[in-house]
């Protein structure tokens, strides 16, 4: 991503960044499950993924001779990283050991609603836009419709009540993600977006390590017993899910409104379903196709005011970015 102090942001970069978080993050549900099925425990997975991604990115920033150690920025980035990548993503990884990915995707897709509720400085703007409010409601309804068959099966089962604590935990994780994103967006920074992203990932990765030990994930674990598919999934999550995807997300928060950026939460389940159909041979029903269409409509509605103002045109938009 471009990273000059005062820059002109081309719509092409914005499109590439949105495509990255839409497509790549939508695939991470599939690769997280693949990694765990390959034999990697959940918190160890988080430790490996984010520690390595953070170190690689810090190394790249060092090669570019960027200033890495600015105390205030490191503290802010660490707090953000723990809220986003340890609390929120950690809950997603952990819950996928117990909960069907359909329910996980639904609860995570509530993020755009929490962005609007918690973004107090922009309440006047967000709540004055009928298209935004309708888009949020329509999007969440679309995700529920998308997974309606699986949801009905879950709540008809005998163990439905046992899943309630996990659902509440996922809601808490989604709130933590939204709050952490808004916290990051509200804090000024001297460091570049790349440096901040690196510290966020490294801080989260370090926190995963003691939690993994406390849960006894290292006891009796044999690395040679981990399937190759597990390691390949980890590599994908490091390179694409973390370095590419999270970098694009942090950058977008600086150049687009939080409400717009949060639309990734509606598109990700769509990608998850497509991957399930293509790679896992899953069947997609007419109800699910309808859900996909509704979700895409919601993203259009949320961005409608921007389309009207011509922001998503080919002209360049001047913004000031920290770093």
Instruction: Quickly count: other Cβ atoms within 10 Å of residue 132's Cβ.
Output: 22
pLDDT of residue 3: 46
Residue 191 CA neighbour count, 13 Å, CB half: 25
Nearest to residue 51, comparing CAs of 250, 252, 237, 245?
Answer: 237
Q: How long is the chain?
A: 323
Q: Among residues 76, 87, 261, which one has the least CA distance to residue 184?
A: 76
Half-sphere exposure of 25 (CA within 13 A, CB side): 28
Residues facing 319 on adjacent strands: 7
Percent helix, strand, coil in the chain (nearest 5)? 75, 0, 20
Give residue 182's pLDDT: 87
- Looking at the DSSP bridge assignments, the partners of residue 318 are 8
Angle at CA 25, nearest 5°, toward 310 and 175? 85
pLDDT in tens, the chain (323 residues): 554 333 467 788 888 999 999 888 888 878 888 898 888 999 999 999 999 999 999 999 999 888 888 888 999 999 999 999 999 999 988 887 777 665 676 667 777 777 777 877 777 776 777 777 787 788 778 777 766 766 666 656 655 555 667 777 888 888 898 899 888 888 877 888 889 999 999 999 999 999 999 998 888 778 888 899 999 999 999 999 989 988 898 888 888 877 778 778 778 877 877 776 677 665 666 776 777 677 767 767 766 655 554 444 333 333 333 33
Reduce the DSSP state of residue 75 to 3 states and report it.
helix
CB 109 within 8 A of CB 269: yes
Stated as kind and residue range, the H or E segment containing 132 is helix 130-146
Rounded Cα gap, residues 24 and 318, in angstroms: 27
Give the pLDDT score at 4.
39
pTM of the model: 0.76
The per-residue pLDDT for 265 is 76
Q: Which of 132, 88, 138, 109 is nearest to 26 (CA)?
A: 109
pLDDT of residue 221: 79
- pLDDT for res 25: 84
- Encode pLDDT of 257-276 as tens digits: 777 787 787 788 778 777 76
């Amino acid at each position: 991503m471009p990273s000059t102090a005062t820059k002109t942001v081309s719509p092409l970069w914005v499109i590439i960044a949105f495509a990255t978080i839409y497509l790549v993050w939508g695939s991470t549900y599939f690769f997280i499950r693949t990694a765990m099925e390959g034999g990697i425990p959940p918190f160890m997975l988080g430790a490996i993924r984010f520690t390595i991604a953070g170190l690689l990115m810090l190394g790249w920033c060092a090669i570019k001779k960027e200033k890495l150690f600015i105390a205030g920025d490191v503290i802010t980035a660490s707090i953000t990283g723990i809220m986003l990548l340890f609390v929120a993503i950690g809950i997603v990884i952990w819950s996928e050991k117990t909960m069907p990915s359909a329910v996980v995707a639904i609860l995570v897709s509530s993020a755009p609603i929490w962005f609007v509720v918690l973004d107090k400085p922009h309440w006047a703007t967000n709540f004055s836009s009928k298209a935004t409010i309708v888009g949020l409601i329509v999007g969440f309804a679309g995700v529920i419709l998308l997974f309606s068959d699986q949801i009905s099966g879950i709540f008809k089962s005998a163990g439905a009540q046992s899943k309630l604590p996990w659902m509440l935990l996922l809601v808490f994780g989604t709130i933590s993600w939204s709050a952490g994103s808004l916290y990051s967006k509200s804090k000024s920074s001297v460091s570049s977006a790349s440096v901040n992203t690196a510290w966020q990932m490294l801080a989260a990765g370090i926190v995963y390590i003691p939690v993994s030990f406390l849960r006894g994930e290292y006891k009796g674990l044999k690395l040679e017993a981990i399937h190759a598919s597990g390691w390949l999934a980890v590599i994908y999550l490091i390179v694409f899910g973390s370095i590419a995807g999270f970098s694009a997300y942090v950058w977008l928060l600086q150049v687009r409104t939080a409400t717009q950026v949060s639309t990734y939460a509606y598109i990700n389940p769509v990608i998850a379903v497509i991957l399930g159909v293509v790679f896992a041979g899953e069947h997609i029903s007419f109800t699910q196709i309808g859900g996909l269409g509704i979700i895409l409509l919601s993203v259009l509605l949320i961005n409608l005011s921007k389309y009207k103002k011509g922001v998503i045109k080919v002209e360049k938009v001047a913004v000031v970015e920290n770093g």
